[in-house]
Amino acid sequence: MAEYKDHPSILIADIDCTTEGKPLCNAHGVKGYPTIKYGDPNALEDYKGGRTLSDLKKFASESLGPSCGPANLDLCDDDAKAELEALMALSDEDIASKISEGTKKMEDAEQTFKSEVEKLQAAYQQLMADKEAAVEEVNNSGLGMLKKVRAYRKSNPVEEKDEL
């Protein structure tokens, strides 16, 4: 952080998501720690690269700084420019509606995920209980004694007698 302290277009910040920073972390989808995000403060992206100092320095020098957006159209390719121009033509109400719709979809996906994970957890617990009951039933049915008999017979073979 100190190395980039006075950089004109790179901000590196440390946020404590367990105290005063919690609302900011919630707003940007921080779910686990440590989390590294980068990009436009209004649309941060998850960093997925290496975590060593050299990895982070390389990423910062190559990837951080101004990016394609309404304030930097010159950094956009033709497709991104066309998309931005179409979005800039929308009314504030349309933009707010689309943001709200997208946010709702993400929240719904998160809720569905949590609900389905709870169902999976319940199914897992039932399967574990069923397995443990089956193992206990088999063990109580004499499996241990059968194994002892087999081991005994292997170490003390019975000679077969030929009868006439």
Rg (CA), the chain: 31
> Which is it for strands 45-46 and 37-38: parallel, antiparallel or unpaired?
antiparallel
| Cα torsion angle, 124, 110, 84, 67, sign | negative
Question: Residue 164: its pLDDT value, please?
Answer: 62
Residue 118 or 57, more confident: 118
Q: How far apart are CA 140 and CA 137, in angstroms?
A: 5
End-to-end Cα spacing for the chain: 95
Give the C-alpha distances (Å, rounded to integers) separating 34 from 54, 116, 135.
Answer: 17, 26, 41
Other CB atoms within a 10 A radius of the CB of residue 162 amount to 4
Contact 39, 45 (CB under 8 A): yes
Note the pLDDT tens digit of each residue in 10-31: 778 888 888 888 888 888 888 8
Question: Residue 107: its pLDDT value, please?
Answer: 92
Residue 71 or 4, more confident: 71
Question: pLDDT grade, residue 129 (50/70/90)?
Answer: very high
pTM tops 0.85, yes or no: no
Listed range (37-41, 49-53, 93-97, 148-152) with the worst mean pLDDT: 37-41
Question: Residue 161: its pLDDT value, please?
Answer: 65
Q: Coil, strand, or helix at residue 72?
A: coil
Q: What is the mean pLDDT of the chain?
A: 89
Residue 71: pLDDT above 80?
Answer: yes
User: Backbone phi, then psi, for 37, in 5-degree steps?
Assistant: -120, 155
